[in-house]
Every structure is written in structure tokens, then in C-alpha cells.
Amino acid sequence: MPILTAQNLHKSHGASVLLDGAELHLARGEKVGLVGRNGTGKTTLLRILTGMESPDSGNVVRRRDAHVAYLQQDPPVGTTETLLDIALAGVKLCREHLEPHEAELRAEQALKGLGIPDIHQKVAEASGGTRRRAALAAALLQQPDLLLLDEPTNHLDPGTSDWLQAELRAMPGALVLVTHDRYFLNQVVDRIVELRHRKLKSYDGTFQDYLQARLDEDNQAERVESNRRQRLRAELAWLGTSPAARSCKPKARLDKARATVAQVVEVDKPLVLPMFQLERMGKVLLDAQDLRVGWPDKTVIQHLTLLVTRGERIGIVGPNGAGKTTLLRTLLGEIPPLAGTVARGATTQVMQIDQQRSGLEPQWTVKEAGSPAGTEWVVTPTGKMHIAGYLEQFLFKFDDLRQPVTTLSGGQKFRLLLARKLQEPMNLLVLDEPTNDLDFETLELLEETLLSWPGTALIVSHDRAFLDRVCTAIIDVPGDGTATRHAGGWSDLQARKVQKFIAPTAVAQVRATPKTDAPPKLTFAEDKRLAGMEAEIEAAEARVAAAEALLADGAVAADFARLQLAIAAQTAAAQARDALWAEWQRLEDKQRAWQGWKAER
């Protein structure tokens, strides 16, 4: 019996129809990723599945004894005193009977796993991101039959994200996951459900498989639409003949012609980001010398010398609490340095979007927020535009202009804030966790815009795929008081860390391990895995080659929407292939070490 069945769901918010005949079936233990554009109703659907919100029509049937847990984007924490209390509230909902000390140990392990060192911190003193991680721990500790997570990777550093990934994959219950993190999604789910045109469509397999399937669908849809246009031209030409010429034609032909002309094809309007206004800039935008960063009672970074020059896109990474945002605020002059100096270039103009999406007042309407001057017209690099036409580029329809900011999703707020900020000329773009809450289309378009923009960017992000795609350099803030700059993206940084770790470890092992000690032998499972990997790698290489061939297709390159899907498919295929090669190399090295030792005996 399915853990949950939703049939013929309909839901509207005002004039906006979110669900129109949507259906979903969830089996025990399956892991489902829910994707769709910002504002299409993903969060509303999750609330309907939990019973927190009712559909206008249709029904949701949950297995009678099923326990459902839900992590909201902004979870309520009630009157709990400490972060530990939040987690313990989740343990109490678990079916398993636990002694008090066992419950506290589980709660502590979950909080520590999610990167919360001070489990006794007062809820009132914790940041929104920390409270959200405690709520995530509470949801996991319930051990539910169905777990619904709305953007769980927001505010998670890569190490914590990997911990959560392992927990979710090992969880026996079913999972419905909404996340912007493409790498995380590809590793966790075994089915993708897309909310598109107010209905749900299912795709078996990983996120990578979904991207390939969607690309194939778009190619097929383009062929169908091309045929429809040809029929339309033919029928219009026929209808244009004189009445006398048409009088001898059968009525069925006339009805078919009218039906073809009247046919409405629903298409997704592409998001278009206007080019950022670029202010004239010098070679050096920021110059930090021997910087010490932190607060009077705590130093988080010291002895940092940094030069930010024209055209660079620098990512700032590190665990939560390491001081990334504090460093950013110090570089921008919002916090005075404890020591050292920060000099800003004479022509440096900053545009900043922070984690809180500051700059949007809740009482504003979409139209008021989109026009800083409060006029009907906005000024863009290409000239004046009416506010309605300008906001339409950011997927806000005319009916949305009177909608209050408070009713928007997180991704819609980002798009609106971007529409507002892009009217300001600047040459240094500062983004703090820009990928939180964004749908994949907006995320990929933001990547493309940054890659083509000649200005400079400072970006704090935990999104590994985004950092790899966009950044020319990374500042690593590991939390030990240092901050080190590295060339390249996230993967380049990780490769250097692995190399740095392997080399001295290998030397130490040679010195410390007697020659008579046998290296570990492949386990039965590892030996079986290695034997079957060659075919798997060949298949992965074939998927990469197919994705690259699509990128080289002129028709794909000329269609922006198809190009974005092709790029995403190629990136996901390459990441999956590289992971297979890394696993093969590890197993092969282990096998060779054993065989070499055995031959010497």
C-alpha cells in the first residue's frame, strides 16, 4: 500500500492557479525530489500533503498509521528554551521508546552532525539558520514514515550537507525533498517529480536522468510545434481562399482548420536577466593589508592580505560560524577591522544582496518594490522601460504587480530584489548565499549572467556546483583563524586539500609501517564492485559524450531554454563520471597494493 496518495488536486491563491488536477503516489522508502519554478506552488503542495493546508478540491490519503514530519522554510520553534529542547521535541515523537539519557544522546548527535556546536544555546540568541538546523534535527529524530523537507540545505556548509545526504539515503522512510542544491539532489533521490503547468509529472532516476529526459521532451516538443506551425500556415492559406473555392470543401476540413488556428500551446516564458549596469572601474577594487577580522571579544580571521582586481569572481567558503559573512562585512566597511586596513578603489561601486534579502519592505507591492524611484518607468542599460514590461522579464505577470511582497516565495523575492538592484550602476557585486531558494532555471541564468559580466564579484556560498561554474578563485575560511586564497573553483580547492593530505600521510605510513604488514585486501563487495565498474564508466562516458554533442548542436545553442538544460545535463553527467573514476582509482590502488605485497612474499 502506498504511504500517500494525492488525487485530482486543485488549489488557487487568489487569481493564481497553482494546482489543476495534480496527482502523486508515494511508496514506502522511496526518495523523491520535487522541482519546479519559483512560485509554482511547491511549498503549497508540501503543506497540502502534510494536512496543514487543504486543497480546493481533490483528496490526499495517507496510510492510517503513517507518521509524517515536515521541515518548513521558516519553521516555528514554539516556546522552547534551547536548541537541545527543539531536538528533544522531535525525539519524543519517535515511536521507539528511549530512556532520557538515550534521547538526549541522540538529540546531541543530530545537532552536532548538523554543525551546531553549542547545543545549549538559547533559541532567542540563535540565528535563523541555526534555529532551522535544530528544527531539521528534530524532523530527522522523529524517524517518520514520510519526511517532507523544504530547502533543507540552506545554511548548510558542504561537510554538514554530506552528513545530511548520508542520513537521508540510509533513512527507511519515504522522502519528498525540495532543494536548489543540484549535487545534493543528484546524490539523494531516486525519482524526480516536476510541478509544471499546474500538474505533476514523474521521472524515474536521478536528477541527471531527469535533465536528460526533459531535454529529450523539449526536442520532441519543438518538432511537434514545428509541425503544428506548418499545418497552421497551410490551413490559414486555405481559409484565405475565396468563399466560392471553399464551398466545395468538406465541412470536416473547415472544422479542422478552425481548430488548428484556435489551438493554444502553453509554453514556459523564459526568464531574462538584463545585463548588469557596469560602472567605470579601476584595476583594483579592494585592497586589504594584514587584516584581523572579528569582534572585540573574538578574532575569527587574522593576517589576511587580499587584493580584489577587475574581472575576478571570488568565492568565500568555510563551515558555518567560521567568519565568512563577518569577513565580507569587514571588506565592505560595515564592520571596522580589529587590525590592518581595507582600501576601496576610487571608482568602486558596490551592489549587495545579503542572506536576509534586505531591501524589500513587507508592505510593498511587487510594483512598488520593482521601481525604486516610485515611477511608472525604470532606467536600464538599454533605455527606459515601463515597470510592467521590465518586471515581466523576471516572470512577474501584470496580475502580480499588486501582490504584497510578504506573499512571495524565497526565489520570487530574490528575483524581485535583483530587478530592483539591477537598476543601480555598480562594478563590485556582493552576494551572500545567492542560491538559497532559487529554482534551477534562475540559478543557471544567474551563472550565465555572472560569467558574461566584465565586473567583479565576491560570493559567499555553500553551493558547490555554483562555485565550480562561476568562481575564478576561492578564499577558504576553515575556522582556525586563517583565510587562504586559491585559484580556481570548489573542485580545485578540494583537489589541493586531498593532495596535501595524501602526500604527508603516505610518507608517514612508509616510515611507520613495517614491510611485513599486509595492506588491506579488497572486501568481497569491493571486489564485485570493481569488476562491474568498467561498463558503468563506459556508460557514463557515453552520457557525457551525448551531452557534449547536444551542446555542439547549432539548434540547441540558438535556443536559450534548451541550451540551459543541455548545460545542466552536461555538468551533471561530467560530475557523475568523475565520481565513478575516483571510486575506481581508489579500489584499483587498494587492489594493486595487496597484489604487490603478495608478489613480494
Can you give the pLDDT at residue 551? 73
Q: Are both 522 and 451 inside the same structural domain?
A: no
CATH number at residue 522: 1.10.287
Q: Are both 483 and 523 inside the same structural domain?
A: no
> Does some domain include residue 535?
yes
What integer is the mean pLDDT of 241-263?
57
Q: Are both 58 and 201 inside the same structural domain?
A: yes
Can you give the pLDDT at residue 513? 47
> Does some domain include residue 250?
no
Which residue, of 210, 240, 265, is where some domain finishes?
210
> Does some domain include residue 569?
yes
483 falls in which pLDDT band (50, 70, 90)?
very high
Which residue, of 158, 176, 210, is where some domain finishes?
210
Can you give the pLDDT at residue 275? 55
> Does some domain include residue 276?
no
Instruction: State the SS3 of 17-84.
Output: EEEEEEEEEECCCCEEEEECCCCCCHHHHHHHHHCCCCCCEEEEEECCCCCEEEECCCCCCCCCCEHH
> How far is the C-alpha of 421 from the C-alpha of 226, rounded, in Å?
39
Can you give the pLDDT at residue 502? 54
> Does some domain include residue 174?
yes
Q: Are both 24 and 114 inside the same structural domain?
A: yes
Q: Are both 474 and 533 inside the same structural domain?
A: no
Question: Is the confidence at residue 412, as pLDDT, over 50?
Answer: yes
Q: For 12-21, 386-395, 496-505, which range has the lowest pLDDT when averaged over its residues?
A: 496-505
The stretches of 410-559 forming alpha helices (DSSP H) are 410-421, 440-452, 464-470, 490-512, 524-552, 554-558
What stretch of H or E contains 475? strand 473-476
Q: For 27-36, 188-197, 432-441, which range has the lowest pLDDT when averaged over its residues?
A: 432-441
DSSP structural state of residue 303: E
CATH number at residue 36: 3.40.50.300
Provide the number of structural domains found in the chain.
Answer: 3
Q: For 156-165, 411-420, 443-452, 492-501, which range has the lowest pLDDT when averaged over its residues?
A: 492-501
Cα-based distances in Å from 557 to 273, 566, 567: 18, 9, 10
Which residue, of 210, 240, 274, is where some domain finishes?
210
What integer is the mean pLDDT of 287-310?
92
Q: For 55-69, 103-117, 500-514, 525-539, which range has the lowest pLDDT when averaged over its residues?
A: 500-514
Grid cell in block for residue 97: 521508546
577 falls in which pLDDT band (50, 70, 90)?
confident
> Does some domain include residue 234?
no
> How far is the C-alpha of 450 from the C-alpha of 573, rounded, in Å?
23
In angstroms, how far is the first alpha carbon of the chain from the final one? 58
Can you give the pLDDT at residue 359? 85
The model's pTM is: 0.68
Q: For 296-310, 433-447, 560-574, which range has the lowest pLDDT when averaged over its residues?
A: 560-574
Nearest to 86 by CA among 52, 134, 130: 134
Q: Are both 37 and 151 inside the same structural domain?
A: yes
Can you give the pLDDT at residue 441? 75
Q: Are both 335 and 372 inside the same structural domain?
A: yes
Nearest to 324 by CA among 486, 155, 184: 155
User: What is the DSSP track for 170-220?
Assistant: H-SSEEEEE-S-HHHHHHH-SEEEEEETTEEEEEES-HHHHHHHHHHHHHH
Question: Is the confidence at residue 93, as pLDDT, over 70?
Answer: yes
> How far is the C-alpha of 332 from the C-alpha of 318, rounded, in Å?
19
Can you give the pLDDT at residue 193? 95
Q: Are both 522 and 448 inside the same structural domain?
A: no
Q: Are both 463 and 534 inside the same structural domain?
A: no
Q: How many Cβ atoms sit within 10 Å of the Cβ of residue 74?
A: 10
Can you give the pLDDT at residue 462? 86
> Does some domain include residue 500?
no
Segments forming the whole domain that contains residue 164: 4-210
Pairing of strands 4-13, 16-26: antiparallel
What stretch of H or E contains 314? strand 313-317
* 453 or 246: which leads in pLDDT: 453
Mean pLDDT of the chain, nearest integer:
83
Q: Are both 318 and 456 inside the same structural domain?
A: yes
274 falls in which pLDDT band (50, 70, 90)?
low
What stretch of H or E contains 150? strand 146-150
Can you give the pLDDT at residue 556? 66
What integer is the mean pLDDT of 62-86?
88
pLDDT in tens, 174-190: 999 999 888 888 889 99
Q: Are both 461 and 576 inside the same structural domain?
A: no
What integer is the mean pLDDT of 538-551?
74
Q: Are both 552 and 478 inside the same structural domain?
A: no
> Does some domain include residue 278?
no
